[in-house]
A and B are shown apart, each in its own frame.
Chain A
Amino acid sequence: MNNMSWSRYILILVVFVLVAGGVGVRMVSIQNIPAAQTILESSKKLVGVTQTIYPERGSIYDAQGRLLAGNETVYEVGLDLRSIAQPETIASVVSSVLGLDYSTTLVYAKTEAIDDEKLYIVLDSFVDKEKIAQLELIEEDYKNRTIGRNETRPSLEGLIWTPYNKRSYPEGDMGANMLGFYSFLDRVDGRGYYGVEESYNDLLAGTPKQVYTPFDPQKITSGDDIPPGASLVLTFDREIQAMVEQQLAEAIEWSGAESGTILVYNPEDGSIIAMATTPRMDPNYYWTQGEVFTGNTPFNRPVSETYEPGSVFKVLTMASALDAGAVKPETVFTDTGSIMVGGTTITNWNYGAWGDQDMTGCMQHSLNVCLSWIAMQLGADRFYTYLKNFGFDRNTGIDLGGESHWPLKLPGDNQWYEVDLATNSFGQGISVTPIQMAMAIGAVANEGRMMAPHIVKAIVIDGHQYEINPVIVGNPIKAETAETLTRMLVTSLEEESSIALVEGYTVAGKTGTAEIPTPFGYTSSVTNTSFVGWGPAEDPKFLVYVWLEKPTISIWGSEVAAPVFSKVVQNLVVLMDIPPDQIRLQASAEDK
């Protein structure tokens, strides 16, 4: 081979190398131009589609497994613009069945499809099953209709309906203050508000997942299961809740109260058995919230609204004093009708002097003067330490959305005065929520152990039920103190023949009447009436807290809230299968 031939070969080689290099450089540059990403995305659309699948929201059940919040099927009706054959027929049917405007629907139906931009138009959402059944009937009729030679068969081709889940609350407004609601109208960013819907929103919602579906049928594989959100089993019982709500409604009507709250709490484990309050709204129509809860009305008073509880608070003052040894049940206080604390005169509810009273008498007659003296015997430091131990300086941590608390004023604070020690001892000048009161007084009913209040009994995830264990928040008082105070409160109720008593059952309890602070001072003409009681006294299974706001029939808790407690307990013991003392103690003795 001569030199000429070699040079030709080398020239050809160089040309090939240059061409190949050029192609390589161009490939790299194309992949890095700004449009490259768009081209890549467009190419992906040709081979498959990626969708975000939202798992079905977990259900909520009561303690007996009755569905409280679930999902029902509704439909989205829309137009597939590529396959519409008869826009007029569709517009006519849709306007008659769904009640949509004929002209607007016709305009939509005649819209030309634009690839990747406009292929589908939503006509209506949350369409119920009955209307879809009508559409199906019409479609079936069109298919089977006998058509003449020159006639055109009517068709709904292009009109499509797609089912999806909508949150539903079969019990309506029952227990709605505990359930909260899910904003289902927002199908992408819907979330839970208030109650367990808010506090367990993430668990109920589950984890959305990106799912890729190839157009090539050969590449379709069985997709991963998308597990539904966790389901919740609550501690409250529907039958008891319904009964308590009914009792509350009757109590409000009878007493003329502005609003009311009844809380049934299990002091042994902190579970909420029932929590009724007013107002309530039907979460199926959650958009009415603004009409139902006007002004500053909270969604769930028992956990969100603070108020001055009045004499029910004396239970905690007495518990603290007995526990600290500042007084004993037999300690005698001579009530002269008034006591001077920090330059302010404290008087009793009837401005009377009650003479010599032991501690049970002080509780029985609800003597402000006596309790003020007890608080002074205890001393401010110890008194407020006990209040902090009872949890009044913080939220209870109940698993319901929207909990709040009023800051506890302490000695040394700008807003604290010496007289506060006295007024706080009988539940004035201190604001609490009913759930704080139930948790704290629950310690007296439960041998000094204070349990964390909770509404969720168990969580069901991936086919397994995980029980929630009760949590002891603290031991603010000794078991002996709790037992002593319970006996004192049983005696005080029995000796005054309170209308709170329940035949056949031994209950401990305390009334409360609180003046309401206004910008011009306290008013005595309207009050907050309360009652707290628990039973059976020797082995408490329930604690009932009643609060009726501004009753008109009477201003006294002993006349308004006490009978409500009695009625609730009369029904409660039946629903909770708690036999009267005589039968229960007899059975217990036989067992031994």
Chain B
Amino acid sequence: MNMKTKNIIQAYRQAPWRMQLQWIGIFLLILMSIAVIAGVYLSLSGKAAITGRRIQSLEYQVSALELQINDLASQLAYASSARVMSERAAALNMVQRDPAQAIYLEVPGYSPESFSLAPAPTVDNIPSPSILPEFTASLWDWLADTLSNLPGTAQGSQEAQP
């Protein structure tokens, strides 16, 4: 260390306000870091709280909609029940056809579909594990494959064939 440098360091050490400034700087830096972290934390926790409430609200909505769907299905069933339909038919002056007068027509290819409320269970199509040829091909296979794909060979050629 030369003389000039020593002098600068000594001068710096002898000035107390520089030391204080240094400490204040460090303190402010720490404070700012804490503030930034706290800010980020507050922002994230605020968003999490809002999301939580939104989830809760959506779940309430789902429950309400499920109740409504059930209720509407029941209302529809009441409105189309055998008794109601019979009364409506009577109100429209419809009369029940004598079964003996039924006329049967054969519709080729028609077969009534049986009712299904949901699809039948199936075994999930799990993709079979694909193993790259690098792990299965022999050295000879690899060499033959590489050679066949070289430009200018029959399979590797990019030129149009006449």
A445-488 vs B, CB cutoff 8 Å, 1 = contact: the mask equals: 00000000000001010011111000000000000000000000
- With the chains together, A223 CA to B112 CA distance in Å? 42
Q: Which of these binds chain B: A380-388, A419-427, A568-576?
A: A568-576
Asked if B55 and A221 make an inter-chain contact with CB atoms under 8 angstroms apart, the answer reads yes
Closest to A219 in B: B52
Asked if B120 and A220 make an inter-chain contact with CB atoms under 8 angstroms apart, the answer reads no
- With the chains together, A458 CA to B121 CA distance in Å? 12
**Chain B binding surface SS class:** helix
Asked if B102 and A574 make an inter-chain contact with CB atoms under 8 angstroms apart, the answer reads yes
Q: A67-B77, A464-B121, A465-B120 are in contact. Are A72 and B102 (CB under 8 A)?
A: no
Closest to A173 in B: B83
Contact residue among B49, B81, B115 (Cβ-Cβ distance under 8 Å from A64): B115
Q: Which of these binds chain B: A119-127, A363-371, A548-556, A577-585?
A: A577-585
Q: Which of these binds chain B: A96-104, A163-171, A402-410?
A: A163-171
Asked if B59 and A465 make an inter-chain contact with CB atoms under 8 angstroms apart, the answer reads no
Contact residue among A70, A222, A464 (Cβ-Cβ distance under 8 Å from B119): A464
Asked if B99 and A67 make an inter-chain contact with CB atoms under 8 angstroms apart, the answer reads no
- With the chains together, A580 CA to B105 CA distance in Å? 11
Q: Which of these binds chain B: A180-188, A231-239, A352-360, A538-546?
A: A231-239
**Chain A binding surface SS class:** mixed
Interface size on A, residues (CB 8 A): 53
> At the interface, yes or no: B161 with Cβ under 8 Å from chain A?
no
- With the chains together, A512 CA to B141 CA distance in Å? 84
Asked if B83 and A222 make an inter-chain contact with CB atoms under 8 angstroms apart, the answer reads no
Asked if A465 and B74 make an inter-chain contact with CB atoms under 8 angstroms apart, the answer reads no
Asked if A233 and B99 make an inter-chain contact with CB atoms under 8 angstroms apart, the answer reads no
Asked if B68 and A460 make an inter-chain contact with CB atoms under 8 angstroms apart, the answer reads no
- With the chains together, A65 CA to B73 CA distance in Å? 12
User: Which residues from 55 to 97 on chain B have a C-beta closer than 8 Å to any C-beta of chain A?
Assistant: 55-56, 59, 64, 66-68, 70-71, 73-78, 80-83, 86
Contact residue among B59, B66, B74 (Cβ-Cβ distance under 8 Å from A168): B74
Interface size on B, residues (CB 8 A): 40
> At the interface, yes or no: B117 with Cβ under 8 Å from chain A?
yes
Most buried by A among B49, B52, B104: B104
> At the interface, yes or no: B149 with Cβ under 8 Å from chain A?
no
Asked if A222 and B59 make an inter-chain contact with CB atoms under 8 angstroms apart, the answer reads yes
B44 CB to nearest A CB, Å = 9
Which chain B positions have C-beta within 8 A of A66? 77, 80
Q: A220-B53, A583-B104 are in contact. Are A170 and B117 (CB under 8 A)?
A: no
Which chain A positions have C-beta within 8 A of B81? 170-172, 174
Asked if A573 and B82 make an inter-chain contact with CB atoms under 8 angstroms apart, the answer reads no
Closest to A174 in B: B82
Closest to A239 in B: B82
> At the interface, yes or no: A56 with Cβ under 8 Å from chain B?
yes
> At the interface, yes or no: A61 with Cβ under 8 Å from chain B?
yes
Closest to B86 in A: A242
> At the interface, yes or no: B48 with Cβ under 8 Å from chain A?
yes
> At the interface, yes or no: A136 with Cβ under 8 Å from chain B?
no
A-B contact pairs, 10 of them (CB 8 A): A65-B115, A73-B71, A168-B74, A171-B81, A174-B82, A217-B48, A220-B52, A220-B55, A238-B82, A464-B119
Question: Which 10 pairs from chain A and chain B are nearest by CB?
Answer: A220-B52, A170-B77, A67-B77, A217-B52, A217-B49, A73-B71, A579-B104, A464-B121, A72-B74, A71-B70
Extra inter-chain contacts (19) besides given A61-B115, A217-B53, A219-B52, CB under 8 Å: A56-B66, A56-B70, A59-B73, A63-B115, A64-B115, A67-B76, A68-B77, A71-B70, A71-B71, A72-B74, A170-B78, A174-B83, A213-B56, A458-B117, A460-B118, A464-B119, A465-B118, A465-B121, A467-B120
